[in-house]
Every structure is written in structure tokens, then in C-alpha cells.
């Protein structure tokens, strides 16, 4: 049972749900270290990190054989949480050199994916990368201190957030947050959002560290995102669509696919809500929401996870990332206070990392869940 009444931001204390569910402290630390070592330096069918030359490195999307801002920023967050500055700096150097635009409509944004040698495959950005880059950089500044460019971490974070809010005010480009609703967009040019991009716990911290003129914006963005998630998550199943309009309703099918349903992107919503509750514990709805989504999947075997309509109707199409979905359901236990919370923590503990071609997304979510459930996904401010 969750006996904490205030979030970690206020108390400096972090729950270790593995200990709460009977795992030994030494075993938890060893499993976390082993997971890091497997993902960054393990066997070829497990690892996702690769050094490049003397000062760079990248996280590979093994299902698509490319490098994405999602994975690069995730890798940086993993590294700063684990106090691994060399890997952090290598990832950041790759992103700076090959992915961040230095001019034009996307200046200070990052090309969302490129080849393993850094050649850009598409110039457009994906906002989930920018928000993770910025948060990881602020944490790095507090853990290790700012150095010379590009390792003046806090200033680099501010540059990114400045562009996210103010891009387009000079007539060129588009901001990543909709100015009217203060909700994050799917991409800067679209009039809809992606519920899994909403990280109110990050925005609360941006409100303390971004440019002074933008701090009120980020505080309001946190509140707006929490309210938005209540609209985007189904009131009975807890499932959310991959893309949703600013009113929370599923977005219309796009030229590149139909994203009205609960599938890969949407898995992250449960994890994000869990971490927001752990850090700030300011939205009681998050406990009930976490109970609902855990209850929906309680009697479904991991191997049988599928695509679902948000009201819970299954498609024949199986989940591409069942281990990733399990990891986020376990991370929801940070907020859940229902009968299934412990079940998911134990099931996750007994589930190994995924191997093979599709492992990248699953194992990124797996590592974040390992950090969070062990009390090691921490705030550095």
C-alpha cells in the first residue's frame, strides 16, 4: 500500500516497489546494474547503445535500423539517472552534431531520425525528443555541473525550450506547444496531440529552470496536460489513443496510418502518469486511472496483448511491444492503489529484457520501469 502522502519533489523520498513486494535490496540494485550493462554493453541481440569514434555514441532503433531523437533522449535520461557521464556526453554529442538544426524553420529542433552514420532521413522534429533532451540536460547540469559548449547542459536545455515555445513568432516555423491550449503537438505543424507526449512532471521542473519569461507558461502547461489526460483516457478501460485532438477525442486517421486506438505510442501514458504521481502526487484521478488500466489487462496474458479500441475491443493484430506494455503497466503501480498493483510489479520483475529485432522500444520502457520501481528515477534540481 502507498503510505506516502506527498510526492518525491517535496519529500526527497522515492518508493522502492520491489522492496515493498518482497525483493531483496541487493538483488534490486544488481538487477538495475545488470539491465544497464545489457542494454549498453551486452550481447548483440540485446544491446541498443553503440559508441562511435572518440566522442559520440547512439541508441539504435533495432526494428528500423535508424537513430531517433526518442531513443537518443531516452538514452541520455537513462545515463544521467545512472550517473554515467561518458555515455551521456557521447549521446549528446551525436545529437548535437548530426540531428540538431542550426538554421531555418527548424533551428534548435532536432531531425527526428537519421542513419547510423548520422545522415538525416527526415528534417522534421518529434516533440517527445525535445522534451526528454531538455529534462535530461537540466538533470545533467545539477549532477555534474556545466562545462564548455556543448556540455553547458543547462543553457543547451534552455535553447531547446525557448524554441519549443517561441518558434514562429518571427514568422518562421511552428512552436511545439499550441499557444492557445498550451498542449504539446504531435509534430509542430499538426493541430492535434499525442497523449503519450504529455509529461506534466517535466513541465513542473521546466517552470523552475527555463527562461524566466516562460516559467508561468510551463506551470500552466503542466496543469493543462493533467486535465488533458483525464479527457484522453477512457473512463472505464483507462485506454487512450495514440493521437488525440486537443479536446482529448481520438484524432482522425492520418496519411501514415490510423492512430485512434490503443497501440504502441499509447503504452507510455500509464508510465508517465505513474511517474507524475510519484514525483508530485497532486492529481488524485491518477490513482483511479492506474487502477483501471491495470484491471483491464489483469486477465490477459502478456503474449496475448493486442491492439485495442479505447473502449476495449481487441483487434486481431498482436502488440508489437508486449514487454514494453507490461513495463508501463508495472510503472503505473507508482500511482495505483488497487488490488493489481503488486501483481504487475512481480510479473515485471520476473520478465526478462526482450531480445531480437523489435527489442529497442520494449527495452527502453523496461529500463525506465526498472528505474522508477526501484526508487531510482529521481529529480535533480
Q: How far is CA 245 from CA 194, 196, 273, in A?
A: 8, 13, 19
Q: Exactly one of 38, 61, 66, 70 is catalytic; which is it?
A: 70
Q: What is the pLDDT of residue 169?
A: 95
Residue 167 lies in a domain: yes
Residue 101 lies in a domain: yes
**Which structural domain range is residue 30 located in?**
8-373
* pLDDT the model gives residue 254: 87
Catalytic annotation, pick one of 87, 265, 276, 283: 265
Asked if residue 294 is part of any domain, the answer here is yes
Q: What is the pLDDT of residue 278?
A: 98
In DSSP notation, 275-289 reads HHHHHT---THHHHH
- Active site annotation includes 316: no
DSSP for residue 134: H
Domain count, the chain: 1
**If we measure between CA atoms, which residue out of 365, 225, 256, 248 comes closest to residue 310?**
248
Secondary-structure percent of the chain, ordered helix, strand, coil, rounded to 5: 50, 10, 40
Confirm whether 66 is a catalytic residue: no
**Secondary structure element (H or E) that encloses residue 314, with its range:** strand 314-318
Does residue 1 fall inside a structural domain?
no
Q: Which residues contact 300 (CB under 8 A, 6 or more apart)?
A: none
Q: Say whether 291 sits in a helix, a strand or coil.
A: helix
Number of CB atoms found within 10 A of residue 101's CB: 18
Query: Both ends of the chain: CA-CA distance in Å?
Result: 28
Q: Which residues pair with 100 in a beta bridge?
A: 110
Q: What is the pLDDT of residue 330?
A: 98
In angstroms, the CA 14 to CA 147 distance is 29
Does residue 379 lie within any of the structural domains? no
Question: Which one, of 80, 86, 177, 78, lies nearest residue 125 by Cα?
Answer: 177
Residue spans of the chain under pLDDT 70 = 1-4
| CA neighbours closer than 13 Å in the CB half-sphere of residue 234 | 21
What stretches of 69-149 adopt beta strand conformation (E)? 113-114, 120-122
Tell me, yes or no, whether 199 lies in a domain.
Answer: yes
CATH number for the domain harbouring residue 149: 1.50.10.10
Torsion sign over Cα 104, 106, 110, 111 = negative
The pLDDT tens digits of the residues spanning 174-225 come to 999 999 999 999 999 999 999 999 999 999 999 999 999 999 999 999 999 9
Residue 24 lies in a domain: yes
Indicate the average pLDDT of the chain.
97
Residue 3 lies in a domain: no
At 68, is the secondary structure helix, strand, or coil? strand
On the CB side of 231, CA atoms within 13 Å amount to 18
Amino acid at each position: 500500500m502507498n503510505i506516502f502522502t506527498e510526492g518525491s519533489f517535496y519529500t526527497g523520498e522515492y518508493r522502492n516497489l520491489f522492496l515493498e513486494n518482497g525483493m531483496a535490496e541487493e538483488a534490486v540494485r544488481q538487477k538495475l546494474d545488470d539491465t544497464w550493462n545489457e542494454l549498453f554493453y551486452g550481447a548483440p541481440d540485446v544491446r541498443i547503445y553503440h559508441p562511435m569514434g572518440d566522442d559520440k555514441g547512439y541508441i539504435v532503433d533495432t526494428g528500423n535500423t535508424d537513430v531517433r531523437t526518442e531513443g537518443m533522449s531516452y538514452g541520455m535520461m537513462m545515463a544521467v539517472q545512472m550517473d554515467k557521464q561518458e555515455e551521456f556526453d557521447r549521446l549528446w554529442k551525436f545529437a548535437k552534431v548530426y540531428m540538431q538544426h542550426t538554421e531555418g524553420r527548424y533551428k534548435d529542433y532536432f531531425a527526428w531520425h537519421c542513419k547510423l552514420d548520422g545522415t538525416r532521413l527526415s528534417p522534421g522534429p518529434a516533440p517527445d525528443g525535445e522534451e526528454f533532451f531538455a529534462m535530461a540536460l537540466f538533470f545533467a547540469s545539477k549532477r555534474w555541473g556545466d562545462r564548455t559548449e556543448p556540455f553547458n547542459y543547462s543553457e543547451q536545455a534552455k535553447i531547446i525550450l525557448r524554441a519549443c515555445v517561441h518558434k514562429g513568432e518571427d514568422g518562421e516555423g511552428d512552436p511545439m506547444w499550441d499557444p492557445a491550449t498550451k498542449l504539446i503537438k504531435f509534430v509542430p505543424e499538426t493541430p492535434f496531440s499525442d497523449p503519450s507526449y504529455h509529461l506534466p512532471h517535466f513541465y513542473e521542473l521546466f517552470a523552475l529552470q527555463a527562461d524566466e519569461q516562460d516559467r508561468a507558461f510551463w506551470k500552466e502547461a503542466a496543469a493543462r496536460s493533467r486535465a488533458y489526460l483525464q479527457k484522453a483516457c477512457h473512463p472505464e478501460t483507462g485506454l487512450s489513443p495514440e493521437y488525440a485532438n486537443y479536446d482529448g477525442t481520438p484524432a482522425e486517421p492520418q496519411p501514415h496510418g490510423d492512430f485512434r486506438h490503443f497501440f504502441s505510442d499509447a503504452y507510455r501514458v500509464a508510465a508517465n502518469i505513474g511517474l507524475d504521481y510519484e514525483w508530485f502526487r497532486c492529481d488524485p484521478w491518477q490513482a483511479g486511472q492506474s487502477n483501471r488500466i491495470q484491471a483491464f489487462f489483469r486477465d490477459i496474458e502478456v503474449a496475448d496483448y493486442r491492439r485495442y479500441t479505447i473502449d476495449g475491443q481487441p483487434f486481431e493484430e498482436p502488440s508489437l511491444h508486449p514487454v514494453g506494455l507490461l513495463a508501463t503497466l508495472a510503472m503505473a503501480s507508482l500511482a495505483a492503489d488497487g488490488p493489481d498493483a503488486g501483481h504487475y510489479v512481480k510479473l515485471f520483475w520476473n520478465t526478462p529484457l526482450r531480445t531480437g529485432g523489435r527489442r529497442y522500444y520494449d527495452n527502453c520502457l523496461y529500463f525506465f520501469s526498472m528505474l522508477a520501481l526501484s526508487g531510482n528515477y529521481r529529480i535533480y534540481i
